[in-house]
């Protein structure tokens, strides 16, 4: 999730100044439910530039206490017409367009649905939300990349613009604390027959009815977001891979497909085959709309279809297919460090280059400067970055950790560690301690001091600050 988290967290990071002064109205514990699954049915009227949607959401209470209200967010110009329970009975609700309490430029429709009786601990309920209206983006808030709209040229429906009901509370702080959800989905998106719908899930069905076509997609992996691009796409398919592209960019689409195949082949050789079939899609979006990724797809700005040098995002995202489900509540997200390091390793391997050492020392020098400027890097060990909202650092600090591990144990042992971890935990999920234990078992080099420095303490800051060459990052752990 390269661009995804970067865009999300960058958008949030930019807000931190505004947040610190104005969050007194946020209740100390808004009891947000967790979405377990979504069924979406959206009809897109391109001529009228509006959508008409239904979201049936299975919600779970993961709190120890009963919860009496479901809190959801929708785009400010989408209004709710009805809410029903699982039997189709109307349910009481309130909606009001409000501003985020700690981001006053961001307006949403805040939907509150009374749960009667309250939803007990560990219980689930289903709400069916009928809504309709317009989506015009959020560029005016300063989040310039959210240019999402409903339009014949290009339509984008995604979480960033609340184009479907998102479980949440109008507060950046609360949304951050809640972390990312994980759900399955089935989505039926109906569009004019001139257009098609691009999504990273499995295409279950395509129903043509006169002037419209309905695309039915089902999630292929647990997801934290749903993205739907709607345009007169061309689609290039090979095996499980799809590239959705605009007509003018078919040459770039072929190049991206080739790069995806090469990258999958490389990782399969190193880490072993993926379990089951793993569909993966690249979806072209207009320039400036913010490239990002979910579990099985990338929204990729048009520029990357025209510039062959932008392939490292693919190396990054495709490596995430070998990640196992993260069972930590507030994960330090070291997978992002691994994916960032694999951008360099894949580049060197595919293009017979040797850039990873120079990249590592360049990263180390940059981090060394950051360490001087940011005291939290001295006090919070990388294993706690999730709990302390510092996962932006997991990309850079984590990539140096994985670079050092790679140089310390060598290519074969490194590949075995990543591959064995995937094979052992792909079915169950795992946490950071599981990874450390498996790495120690797999490697013949004693990794205790290594992980103590790079994960469980802030001693990595001293290693980075004193390193004169890339070798200084890992040589101290060699037997």
- CB 129, CB 54: distance < 8 Å: yes
Q: Which is nearer to Zn ion, 51 or 321 (CB)?
A: 321
Q: Cβ of residue 281: shortest distance to Zn ion, in angstroms?
A: 16
Q: Cβ of residue 320: shortest distance to Zn ion, in angstroms?
A: 6
Interaction between residue 331 and Zn ion (CB under 5 A): no
How far, in Å, are 1, 119, 322 from residue 276 at the CA level? 21, 36, 12
Q: Which is nearer to Zn ion, 131 or 145 (CB)?
A: 145
Peptide bond into 117 cis (omega under 30): yes
Q: Which is nearer to Zn ion, 334 or 406 (CB)?
A: 334
> Is the Cα torsion angle 415, 276, 349, 293 positive or negative in sign?
negative
Q: Which is nearer to Zn ion, 199 or 340 (CB)?
A: 340
Choices 114-122, 149-157, 241-249, 334-342 (CB under 5 A): range interacting with Zn ion: 334-342
Interaction between residue 1 and Zn ion (CB under 5 A): yes
Choices 2-10, 215-223, 301-309, 466-474 (CB under 5 A): range interacting with Zn ion: 2-10
**Helices 250-271/312-319 angle, 10° precision:** 50
Is 308 buried (19+), middle (13-18) or exposed (0-12) by CB count in 10 A? exposed
Q: Cβ of residue 343: shortest distance to Zn ion, in angstroms?
A: 10
Q: Which is nearer to Zn ion, 5 or 371 (CB)?
A: 5
How far, in Å, are 72, 91, 125, 308 from residue 94 at the CA level? 11, 10, 18, 50
Count of chain residues binding Zn ion (CB under 5 A): 4
Q: Cβ of residue 321: shortest distance to Zn ion, in angstroms?
A: 11
Interface mask (CB under 5 A) for Zn ion, residues 287-326, using x and -?
----------------------------------------
Q: Which of residues 83-142 bind Zn ion (CB under 5 A)?
A: none
Q: Which is nearer to Zn ion, 61 or 394 (CB)?
A: 394
- CB 120, CB 141: distance < 8 Å: no
Nearest residue to Zn ion, using CB?
Answer: 2
Choices 117-125, 220-228, 247-255, 338-346 (CB under 5 A): range interacting with Zn ion: 338-346
Q: Which is nearer to Zn ion, 1 or 473 (CB)?
A: 1
Q: How far apart are the first and last CA of the chain?
A: 35
Name the phi and psi angles at 168, rounded to 5: 175, 175
Name the phi and psi angles at 214, rounded to 5: -105, 125
Give the position of tokens 């613009």.
161
Q: Which is nearer to Zn ion, 115 or 339 (CB)?
A: 339
Q: What are the counts of helices (DSSP H) followed by strands (DSSP E) for the chain?
A: 14, 19
Q: Cβ of residue 109: shortest distance to Zn ion, in angstroms?
A: 30
Choices 48-56, 60-68, 229-237, 332-340 (CB under 5 A): range interacting with Zn ion: 332-340
- CB 154, CB 229: distance < 8 Å: yes
Q: Which residues of 4-38 are buried (b: 16+ CB within 10 A; e: fewer)?
A: bbbbbbebbeebeebbeeebeebeeebbbbbbbbb
Name the phi and psi angles at 380, rounded to 5: -110, 115
Q: Cβ of residue 226: shortest distance to Zn ion, in angstroms?
A: 18
Q: Cβ of residue 363: shortest distance to Zn ion, in angstroms?
A: 16
Interaction between residue 2 and Zn ion (CB under 5 A): yes
- CB 112, CB 69: distance < 8 Å: yes
Q: Which is nearer to Zn ion, 336 or 453 (CB)?
A: 336
Contacts of 473 (CB under 8 A, 6+ apart): 360, 361, 364, 400, 403, 404, 407, 463, 464, 467
Q: Cβ of residue 319: shortest distance to Zn ion, in angstroms?
A: 8
SS3 labels along 152-203: CCCEEECHHHCCCCEECCCCHHHHHHHCCCCEEEEEEEEEECCCEEECCCEE
Choices 1-9, 145-153, 210-218, 442-450 (CB under 5 A): range interacting with Zn ion: 1-9
Give the position of tokens 């050092």.
404
Choices 19-27, 73-81, 217-225, 337-345 (CB under 5 A): range interacting with Zn ion: 337-345
Q: Which is nearer to Zn ion, 164 or 395 (CB)?
A: 395
Q: Cβ of residue 280: shortest distance to Zn ion, in angstroms?
A: 14
Choices 59-67, 93-101, 339-347, 423-431 (CB under 5 A): range interacting with Zn ion: 339-347
Q: How far apart are CA 280 and CA 300, in angstroms?
A: 13
Interface mask (CB under 5 A) for Zn ion, residues 400-439, using x and -?
----------------------------------------
Q: Cβ of residue 4: shortest distance to Zn ion, in angstroms?
A: 7
Q: How far apart are CA 304 and CA 311, in angstroms?
A: 8
- CB 453, CB 381: distance < 8 Å: no
Q: Cβ of residue 165: shortest distance to Zn ion, in angstroms?
A: 26
Q: Cβ of residue 438: shortest distance to Zn ion, in angstroms?
A: 21
Q: Which is nearer to Zn ion, 109 or 394 (CB)?
A: 394
Interaction between residue 338 and Zn ion (CB under 5 A): no
Interaction between residue 339 and Zn ion (CB under 5 A): yes
**Interface residue list for Zn ion (CB under 5 A):** 1-2, 336, 339
């Amino acid at each position: 999730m390269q661009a995804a988290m970067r865009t999300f967290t960058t958008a949030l990071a930019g807000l931190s100044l505004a947040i610190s002064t104005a969050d007194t109205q946020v209740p100390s514990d808004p009891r947000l439910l967790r979405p377990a699954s979504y069924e979406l049915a959206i009809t897109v009227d391109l001529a009228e530039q509006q959508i008409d949607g239904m979201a049936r959401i299975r919600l779970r209470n993961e709190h120890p206490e009963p919860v009496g209200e479901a809190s959801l967010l929708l785009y400010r110009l989408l209004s709710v017409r009805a809410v029903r329970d699982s039997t189709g009975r109307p349910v009481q609700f309130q909606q009001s367009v409000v501003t985020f309490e700690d981001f006053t430029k961001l307006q949403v429709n805040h939907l509150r649905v009374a749960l009667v009786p309250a939803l007990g601990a560990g219980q689930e309920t289903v709400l069916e939300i009928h809504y309709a209206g317009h989506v015009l983006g959020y560029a005016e808030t300063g989040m310039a990349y959210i240019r999402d709209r409903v339009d014949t040229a290009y339509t984008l429906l995604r979480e960033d613009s609340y184009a479907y009901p998102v479980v949440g509370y109008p507060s950046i702080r609360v949304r951050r604390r809640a972390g990312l959800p994980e759900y399955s989905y089935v989505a039926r998106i109906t569009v004019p027959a001139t257009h098609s719908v691009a999504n990273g899930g499995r295409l279950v069905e395509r129903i043509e009815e006169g002037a419209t076509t309905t695309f039915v997609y089902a999630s292929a992996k647990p997801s934290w977001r749903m993205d739907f691009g709607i345009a007169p796409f061309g689609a290039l398919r090979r095996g499980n891979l799809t590239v959705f592209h605009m007509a003018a960019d078919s040459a770039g689409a072929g190049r991206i497909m080739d790069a995806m195949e090469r990258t999958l082949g490389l990782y399969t050789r190193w880490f072993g085959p993926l379990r089951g079939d793993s569909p993966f899609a690249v979806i072209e979006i207009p320039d400036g709309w913010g490239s990002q990724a979910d579990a099985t797809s990338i929204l990729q700005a048009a520029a990357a279809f025209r510039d062959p040098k932008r392939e490292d995002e693919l190396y990054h995202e495709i490596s995430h297919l070998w990640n196992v489900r993260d069972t930590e509540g507030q994960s330090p997200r070291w997978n992002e460090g691994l994916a960032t390091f694999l951008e360099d390793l894949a580049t060197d391997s595919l293009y017979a280059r040797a850039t990873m050492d120079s990249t590592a020392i360049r990263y180390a020098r940059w981090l060394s400067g950051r360490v001087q400027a940011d005291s939290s890097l001295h006090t919070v060990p990388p294993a706690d970055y999730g709990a302390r909202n510092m996962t932006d650092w997991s990309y850079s600090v984590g990539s140096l950790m994985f670079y050092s591990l790679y140089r310390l144990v060598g290519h074969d042992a490194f590949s075995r560690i990543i591959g064995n971890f995937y094979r052992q935990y792909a079915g169950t999920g795992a946490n950071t301690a599981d990874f450390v234990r498996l790495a120690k078992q797999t490697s013949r080099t004693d990794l205790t001091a290594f992980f103590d420095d790079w994960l469980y303490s802030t001693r990595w800051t001293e290693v980075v600050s004193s390193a004169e060459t890339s070798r200084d990052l890992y040589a101290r752990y060699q037997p």
